[in-house]
Structure 1
Amino acid sequence: MVSHIATVARKDFDDASRSKLLWALIGLLVGMVVIGYAAIWYVVDDASASEVLGFLGFPLQTLVPIAALITGYMAVVGERRSGSIKLLLGLPPNRADVVFGKLLGRATVIGTAIALAFVTALVLSSIFFGAVPLFALVEFGLLTLLFGVAFVGFAVGVSAAVATRGKSMAIVVGSYMLFVALWELVTAGPYRLLYGEGPGTEPATWYLVLEQLNPLTAYTTLATEIVEGTIPPFTFQYGLESFEASQMTPAERYAGEAPFYLQEWFGIVVLLGWLLVPALIGYYRFSRADL
């Protein structure tokens, strides 16, 4: 059976390039890089080109997921809402082609914006700081690309799994709020109830596993291995665990040699999981949906 994933992806990307979406994302990410480099060059004395990459970790982990979720949450359900899904499925593409073609197309959109942002960072690094940490810049760019595509995969999966725009928006917004604003409450809260105290610097292993599953934690843990300095995850803190503990990686908080699923590299598996598992679940539900 011939796959039409590439055809759907190409049309999806072409549609995005003719809309304001792609250009808004490019403007958002490139503008953030320009402002970041200019501000650091002006404010911070003796900052190196390598250190600036670390400073970019905070705005990137904030803006990239939002941009990716906006890019993906209407990918499939928007076609169902307009009725064009019946026309699309009347052509050679089948339901698998639609879901994974949309995923590839929307991933290309966010990937284009991220690539241009890092090309801008390369140019500004040379202009403002007279040096380019090329290897670290490429590694950090590829990691950020995976981070963004993971959120696209999640959003497209949600979009394929539900029948209305409202449900899709509610799930992606609620999930983002869980990762950013509620994560400590839903992980450290039960920990305190079970053990009578908040998680310290060496908590139970199950708690560290939950921490590793947050895509923000996975991204910042991996990014810290690439750039100079530490990039803590941008998550709300409620005092259920100490500030010192919240700045440490799951591997650093494990007593002894950390098992493979708590080591830094496992963050790649976590991000791939957020990319693939929701997309597969979304396809499963979409393949059985009555259109």
Structure 2
Amino acid sequence: MMRWSPLARKECRSIATSRGVWLLALLLVPWAYRPSYVGWDALGPNITVAYVQVAAELLLPLGVLLLSYQSIVGERTSGSIKFVLGLPLTRTDILLGKIVGRTAGIYGPVCLSFLALAVIGLLSYGVFNPLLFTGQVVLTGVLVLALVTVATSVSALASRTVTAVAIVFVGVYLLLTLLWTTIAESLFTAITGTPVNPYSPPASGLLFLLVRLSPNGAYHVASNWLLGVGNSAANYANVLTKLKPATNTNILVVDATFPPHQIPWYLQQVVGLGILLAWIVIPLAVARYRFSRGDLA
């Protein structure tokens, strides 16, 4: 029996009954619904599936992090962590209960947003592939789980709320979500001494690997794989534009840079899914190690 399940249910109810998660779910629909000629031309009715990917850009990560970063440090600050520590649970149970519960509490309302997008897409474009749509929804759920895990892990390690805020919103959101491509290109230049012209990038496995190491980058690689639009950590529409004949943009796309037989194994799209899963396993392992030995009283 999973001892952490009562705590997970409590966390789920707490999040699912909050205004924040429903505001997020409401905003995701107009945020994600972005008809595009290039998307319709390549995907047809399955452009509805691509809207799920768009929903996961910027707004969803911000909402997930906002709803998760105080999960433990907030209770430590208020003193209510003493009640949780008094339950017959290990520190690992507490971490798992917090992560699973918050993920479920966020993912449920978000899935209703996806359902609304499905209805809009069905009425606008016709019948799309339901299995493909389900796959995108599940993959986005993995992204939500990864972001909740990262934020909760930071919350478990931080001794003050301000520290958790700085790490989550500067480190995770600003650097790893908004600015990661630029940072990855700068890191590549610092390591190799080779400047990066994104309009004509070098065919370097290291460069393309660095770009997809962030949670959102890895998610986009796997999402684009499902959509069949190209091997890239960028938005599907930008990838399609990059791959159009006589078109050049500053988007890094493996298919536009490497000959098919010279693509390194670690740039295969399935590896993107592995990287996304690593954002669940590694932060949880680090947090479990430190949280189990820390003094929360």
1:195 counterpart residue number: 193
Distance 2:25 2:210 in 1: 33
Unpaired runs of 5+ residues, structure 1, are: 235-242
Q: Which residue of 2 aligns with 1:23?
A: 22
Deviation sequence 1:211-241 (CA, Å, 0-9, x none): 221222212222222236568626xxxxxxx
Report the counterpart of residue 69 of structure 1 in structure 2. 65
1:155 is displaced (CA, Å) by 0.7
Does the CA contact (< 8 Å) of 1:26 and 1:116 recur in 2? Answer: yes
Percent identity reads 27
Q: CA deviation at 1:156?
A: 0.8
TM-score if structure 2 supplies the norm length?
Answer: 0.81
- How many corresponding residue pairs? 275
TM-score (normalised: structure 1): 0.83
Equivalent in the alignment of 2:54: 58
SS at match of 1:72: coil
Could you tell me how far apart the structure 1 residues matched to 2:40 and 2:107 are? 33
Question: Could you tell me how far apart the structure 2 residues matched to 1:130 and 1:9 are?
Answer: 39
- Which one of the candidate residues 171, 176, 192 is aligned to 2:173? 176
Indicate if the aligned counterparts of 1:209 and 1:262 stay in contact, CA closer than 8 A.
yes
Distance 1:205 1:195, change over 3 A: same
Specify the code of the residue in structure 1 equivalent to 2:265.
Answer: F
- Residue 154 of structure 2 corresponds to which residue in structure 1? 158
Distance 2:40 2:195 in 1: 42
Structure 2 counterpart of 1:70, one-letter code: L
| Residue 265 (1) aligns with residue 275 (2) | no
Partners of 2:73 and 2:290 lie apart in 1 by: 12
Superposition pairs for residues 89-104 of structure 1, below 5 Å?
A: 89-104=85-100
**Matched residues in 1 for 2:49 and 2:15: separation?**
29
Q: CA deviation at 1:288?
A: 1.3
Give the whole-Å Cα distance in 1 for the aligned partners of 2:229 and 2:50: 6
Aligned to 2:295: 290
Q: CA deviation at 1:188?
A: 1.9
Kindly tell me: are residues 100 and 55 of structure 1, through their superposed partners in 2, closer, same or farther at Cα, counting changes over 3 Å? closer
Which deviates further from its counterpart, 124-133 or 166-175? 124-133
After superposition, residues 121-160 of structure 1 pair within 5 angstroms as 121-160=117-156
Q: Distance in 2 between matches of 1:130 and 1:92?
A: 52
State the secondary structure of the residue aligned to 1:213. coil
2:211 aligns with: 211
The 8 Å contact of residues 53 and 136 in structure 2, kept in 1 or not, is answered as no
Distance 1:82 1:134, change over 3 A: same
Task: Measure, in 1, the Cα distance between the counterparts of 2:157 and 2:285.
Answer: 10
Is the 1:118–1:137 Cα contact (8 Å) retained in structure 2?
no
Counterpart in 2 of 1:40? 35
Kindly provide the amino acid, as one letter, of the partner of residue 210 in structure 1.
Answer: L
The alignment's C-alpha RMSD in Å is 2.7
Report if the CA contact (8 A) 2:64-2:147 is conserved: yes
Name the stretch that deviates more: 181-190 or 211-220.
181-190
- Seen in structure 2, the aligned counterparts of structure 1 residues 257 and 5 have a Cα distance that, compared at 3 Å, is farther
Give distance in 1, aligned partners of 2:129 and 2:211.
30
Alignment gaps of 5+ in structure 2:
236-247
Structure-2 change in CA distance of 1:264 and 1:155 (3 Å)? same
Distance 1:86 1:55 in 2: 43
CA 1:189–1:125 in 2, change beyond 3 Å: closer, same or farther? Answer: closer
Aligned to 1:246, the other structure's residue is in SS state coil
